[in-house]
Amino acid sequence: MFIASQKKKENVSEYILYMWQIEDIIRTFQFDIDKIKTNIISRFQLDDEKRTQLTKWYESLIDMMLKEGVREKGHLQMVTNTLNELNTLHKTLLMSMKYPEYTAAYYKALPFISELRAKENKPEANDMDVALSFLYGILVLRLKGEKVTEQTSEALTVVTKFLARLSVLYNDYKADKLDLEIA
């Protein structure tokens, strides 16, 4: 909760990845709040009030995941909405002539995104879903202690820089600091 809130303010891409990780943690502990308290919440050094808040946050996420039918796979609607908002901003920025550095970062990442979309056999997946799924996959590999190829590392660098640029622009967008007039 505390980390998610901070990430959402600072870097929306990291927020989405973090929330996907939280969803997987909840699944790993089989939606059992007692297991989450023992294995996750207890590791944080929190006062009683913050511990209670964090517990309630996990409970609410568990409830939402069950109600939304994302028990086995999929993502919470609130996270999907954020991803869709990010993708809408991405498309708008590409139509604008006012952010050439963003467009350049995207076109540098596009070959990797296109290749990933083809490998996943998800032609309908939007750019943000593909790029963030790739980063999440790398995160999972690293957590397992597995290595990635040099080509994957190159793709990771390019896609990360692209998403970092978009995340900065997303913060500007949320602060109403972007000129999104379409040329």
Q: What is the per-residue pLDDT for 181?
A: 73
pLDDT of residue 1: 75
**Quick one: pLDDT at residue 104?**
97
Backbone phi and psi for residue 177, each to the nearest 5 degrees, phi listed first: -110, 5
Side-chain half-sphere CA neighbours of 183 within 13 A:
8
Q: What is the pLDDT of residue 123?
A: 83
Question: What pLDDT was estimated at residue 182?
Answer: 66
Instruction: Quickly state the pLDDT bin for 183 (edges 50, 70, 90).
Output: low
- Cβ atoms of 1 and 49 closer than 8 Å: no
Tens-place pLDDT, residues 70-93: 999 999 999 999 999 999 999 999
Q: Are 73 and 18 in contact (CB under 8 A)?
A: no
Helix residue ranges per DSSP H, 68-149: 77-95, 100-120, 127-143
Q: How far apart are CA 28 and CA 39, in angstroms?
A: 11
Which pLDDT value is given to residue 80? 96
Residues 76 and 64 sit within 8 Å (Cβ to Cβ): yes
pLDDT band at 3 (very low <50, low <70, confident <90, very high): confident
Q: Token digits for 172?
A: 């500007």
pLDDT for the residue 136? 97
Nearest of 163, 97, 96, 161 to residue 131 by alpha carbon: 163
Provide, rounded to the nearest whole percent, the portion of the chain with pLDDT above 70. 99
State the pLDDT confidence band at 2, using cuts at 50, 70 and 90.
confident
Average pLDDT of 47-66? 97
pTM, rounded to two decimals? 0.93
Amino acid, res. 83: L
- 5: tokens are 């809130």
> What are the tens digits of pLDDT across the range 8-44?
999 999 999 999 999 999 999 999 999 999 999 999 9
Q: Are 98 and 123 in contact (CB under 8 A)?
A: no
**Token pair 């600072």 in the structure block, residue:** 10
Q: Is 155 helix (H, G, I), strand (E, B) or coil?
A: helix
pLDDT (mean) for 146-167: 96
Q: Is 12 exposed, middle or buried (0-12, 13-18, 19+ CB in 10 A)?
A: buried
